[in-house]
């Protein structure tokens, strides 16, 4: 799910003063989706816990929405399959280990379920008639609640993590954020400037007391990351974003709400 063709090199400059600051949330909000052309093909389901699922089933592609209230967020569909009347729609679920997807599926016995790797699975009941119409007419269909993508993750030997994310392509792909701290206690830094060129990227804060340096040693093609404070340099361990998706979305405490099928695990 991520382009891996080149290695980012750059300097991340962080202010020691900024460690205690909490920048305001200015992320774009999900926007309404026009479902008029899909209404006749929408399938509506609910589970016993109050979750609502709407699926658009079409030979050209599948779309899905989910929510626990009257706001339904579009899921990021990453795969689909069909075997006779049985079908499965696979969606991005960053909280599940090993990048396994979540699924809304119709099983061979005709029953429906939400699959979350056995951790938050649910049987679904299909709504019809006036009940389905009420959902389609009165609920809000919104774009994905996940507007950000992971950019970099590293940590030191003391368990302090260094994490960078950015807005997704649909929102320009920039809007970088920087977090530093231990699991569950990450602090967002206040950025004042971001420079990006062929040599890499520079993320700057107000004073530049601390620097996170990410470079590529010509004698070692693997990227190396260092935390630099004054004359002191600390080697950091680079962590794979895909493998550590549950760490990012569960343990760091940054993403409280993702709007995905398996948000509760």
Same domain, 91 and 181: no
Same domain, 101 and 157: no
Q: Mean pLDDT throughout 26-32?
A: 92
Q: How confident is the model over 8-23, as pLDDT tens digits?
A: 444 444 444 344 445 6
- Of 74, 106, 107, the C-alpha closest to 91 is 74
257 inside domain: no
265 inside domain: no
If one counts the domains in the chain, the total is 2
Same domain, 173 and 247: yes
264 inside domain: no
Same domain, 221 and 204: yes
Q: Mean pLDDT throughout 96-115?
A: 95
Counting other chains too, the contacts that 14-17 makes at CB distance below 8 Å and 24 or more residues apart are 14/178, 14/180, 14/189, 14/203, 14/205, 14/208, 14/209, 14/210, 14/211, 14/212, 15/189, 15/190, 15/205, 15/206, 15/207, 15/208, 15/209, 15/210, 16/207, 16/209, 16/210, 17/206, 17/207, 17/209
Q: How confident is the model over 181-229, as pLDDT tens digits?
A: 999 999 988 877 777 776 556 666 554 445 666 666 667 666 677 776 7
Same domain, 177 and 134: no
2 inside domain: no
Q: Which of 2-6, 150-154, 215-219, 222-226 has the lowest mean pLDDT?
A: 2-6
Owning domain of residue 214: 10-27+147-251
5 inside domain: no
CATH number at residue 56: 2.40.128
Same domain, 234 and 106: no
pTM: 0.84
């Amino acid at each position: 799910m991520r382009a891996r063709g080149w290695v980012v090199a750059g300097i991340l400059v962080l202010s020691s003063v900024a460690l205690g600051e909490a920048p305001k949330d200015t992320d774009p909000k999900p926007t309404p989706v026009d479902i008029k052309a899909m209404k006749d093909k929408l399938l509506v389901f609910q589970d016993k816990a109050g979750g609502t699922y709407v699926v658009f089933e079409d030979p050209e592609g599948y779309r899905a929405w989910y929510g626990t209230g009257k706001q339904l967020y579009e899921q990021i569909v990453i795969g689909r399959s069909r075997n006779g009347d049985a079908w499965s729609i696979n969606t991005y679920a960053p909280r599940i280990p090993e990048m396994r997807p979540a699924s809304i599926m119709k099983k061979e016995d005709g029953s429906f379920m939400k699959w979350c790797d056995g951790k938050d699975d649910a049987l679904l009941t299909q709504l019809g008639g006036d009940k389905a119409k009420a959902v389609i007419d009165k609920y809000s269909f919104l774009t994905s609640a996940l507007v950000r993508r992971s950019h970099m993750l590293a940590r030191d030997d003391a368990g302090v993590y260094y994490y960078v994310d950015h807005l997704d392509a649909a929102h320009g792909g920039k809007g970088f954020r920087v977090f530093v701290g231990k699991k569950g206690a990450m602090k967002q830094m206040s950025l004042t400037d971001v420079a990006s060129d062929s040599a890499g990227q520079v993320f700057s804060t107000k004073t530049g007391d601390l620097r996170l340096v990410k470079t590529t040693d010509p004698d070692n093609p693997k990227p190396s990351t260092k935390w630099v404070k004054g004359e002191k340099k600390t080697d950091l361990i680079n962590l794979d974003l895909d493998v550590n998706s549950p760490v990012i979305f569960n343990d760091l405490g940054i993403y409280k709400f993702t709007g995905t099928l398996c948000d509760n695990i």
